[in-house]
């Protein structure tokens, strides 16, 4: 694995973990047939539709399952397998199938399939960046957003956030060891697990949360494509000059930005607040990159207040 590939792989690993969720049973499962992918999604609960967008790029949507039991009593939650994850298989993974525009069109295709005039987008990390990209292209169909530990609105902000992440010398040794091509290929599940274990202490506030997250880690064959998907996506963001500020400065719908005070994406929260007129920020104490996991009581309190104010059941 080259230095460039290794760095891009770390970008994907920064943004999400695939976790074994609390039990929730989907009311229905659906597939949207698109030229390159059979896009899979599941629906839970009833009410105003909220599309859940996991991190990555390329992480399993199992990450977002933790939100379902907490919110499905009053809102319709739509859990999407982003392309190249879960049951949304791709025949080939390359720049022609992994790019921001295709991901945006996938989310719009799900909205149409739901028959909803507009939806709320709830995205974590990379999922927040994707949510904003959808709102930038289809503002009339995005009724609002909840952006949790989201990446920024342009690449400069994103790379600045990366520069603020401190990984120990031991973590660097782990990256070098398990990122070696022959070692990674021989046991990719173990390699990714060890890389996660090295990364996670810099992503949470309380070291005890590392053990809880690691106890939940689960990799399958699809999730093993995450480093490649992340690399391709960030190559595409560079090619297109990713910058959502011009479009979203005129976006007037309600936006909630939830950020842990110790999260490495703090700069992004301020950038979003300053560039989207309807955005408000909620910072959570003693919390890093995973508010719903590290401080669930505070997280769900602010999310429910936002939803009850703007998206009550039936609206």
* Per-residue pLDDT reduced to its tens digit, 114-143: 999 999 999 999 999 999 999 999 999 999
Given a cut of 60, is residue 2 above it in pLDDT?
no
pLDDT at 198: 87
Q: In the predicted model, what is the mean pLDDT of residues 159-185? A: 83
pLDDT at 134: 98
Q: How far is CA 211 from CA 49, 75, 157, 196, in A?
A: 33, 31, 30, 11
pLDDT at 222: 55
Q: Which two tokens stand for residue 249?
A: 């400065």
Radius of gyration of the chain (CA): 18
Question: Each residue of 220-237: pLDDT tens digit?
Answer: 655 667 888 999 999 999
Contacts made by residues 6-10, CB under 8 angstroms, sequence distance 24+:
6/175, 6/179, 8/227, 8/230, 8/231, 8/234, 8/235, 9/179, 9/227, 9/228, 9/230, 9/231, 10/175, 10/195, 10/199
Given a cut of 70, is residue 21 above it in pLDDT?
no
Q: Which of 46-50, 63-67, 239-243, 290-294 has the lowest mean pLDDT?
A: 63-67
CA dihedral 23, 28, 33, 36 (to 10 degrees): 0
Strand partners, 51: 78, 121
Given a cut of 90, is residue 17 above it in pLDDT?
no
More confident residue, 43 or 311: 43
Given a cut of 80, is residue 43 above it in pLDDT?
yes
pLDDT > 70 fraction of the chain, expressed in percent and rounded: 86
More confident residue, 166 or 93: 93
More confident residue, 193 or 254: 254
Strand partners, 243: 154
Fold category of 3-308 in CATH: Rossmann fold (3.40.50)
- Could you tell me which of 263, 227, 299 has the C-alpha nearest to residue 70? 299
Given a cut of 60, is residue 7 above it in pLDDT?
no
pLDDT at 104: 98
Instruction: Share the mean pLDDT of the chain.
Output: 87
Q: What is the pTM of this model?
A: 0.90
Given a cut of 90, is residue 59 above it in pLDDT?
no
pLDDT at 179: 84
Pick the most confident of 10-24, 135-149, 160-174, 214-228: 135-149
Given a cut of 60, is residue 211 above it in pLDDT?
yes
Given a cut of 50, is residue 19 above it in pLDDT?
no
Q: What is the distance between the alpha carbons of residues 310 and 72, in angstroms, rounded to a whole number?
A: 16
pLDDT at 109: 98
Taking the domains of the chain in order of start, what are their residue ranges? Answer: 3-308
The beta strand positions in 27-116, using DSSP E, are 28-33, 38-44, 49-53, 76-80
């Amino acid at each position: 694995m080259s230095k460039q590939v290794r760095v891009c792989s770390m970008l994907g690993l920064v943004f999400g973990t695939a976790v074994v969720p609390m039990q929730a049973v989907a009311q229905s499962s659906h597939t949207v047939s698109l030229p390159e992918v059979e896009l899979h999604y599941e629906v839970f609960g009833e009410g105003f539709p909220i599309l859940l967008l996991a991190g990555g790029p390329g992480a399993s949507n199992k990450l977002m399952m933790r939100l379902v039991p907490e919110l499905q009593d009053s809102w319709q939650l739509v859990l999407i397998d982003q392309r190249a994850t879960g049951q949304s298989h791709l025949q080939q993974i390359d720049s022609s199938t992994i790019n921001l525009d295709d991901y945006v069109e996938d989310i719009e295709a799900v909205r149409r399939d739901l028959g909803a005039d507009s939806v709320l987008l709830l995205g974590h990390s990379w999922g927040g960046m994707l949510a904003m990209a959808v709102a930038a292209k289809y503002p009339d169909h995005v009724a609002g957003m909840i952006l949790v530990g989201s990446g920024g609105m342009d690449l400069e902000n994103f790379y600045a956030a990366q520069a603020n992440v401190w990984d120990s010398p031991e973590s660097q040794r782990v990256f070098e060891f398990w990122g070696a091509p022959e070692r990674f290929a021989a046991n990719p599940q173990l390699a990714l697990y060890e890389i996660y274990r090295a990364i996670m202490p810099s992503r949470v506030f309380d070291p005890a949360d590392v053990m809880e997250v690691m106890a939940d880690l689960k990799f399958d064959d699809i999730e093993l494509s995450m480093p490649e998907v992340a690399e391709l996506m960030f190559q595409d963001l560079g090619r297109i000059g990713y910058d959502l500020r011009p479009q979203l400065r005129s976006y007037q719908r309600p936006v909630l930005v939830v950020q842990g005070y110790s999260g490495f994406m703090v700069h992004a929260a301020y950038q979003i607040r300053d560039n989207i007129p309807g955005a408000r920020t909620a910072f959570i104490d003693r919390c890093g990159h995973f508010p719903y996991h590290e401080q669930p009581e505070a997280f769900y309190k602010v999310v429910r207040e936002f939803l009850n104010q703007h998206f009550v059941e039936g609206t």
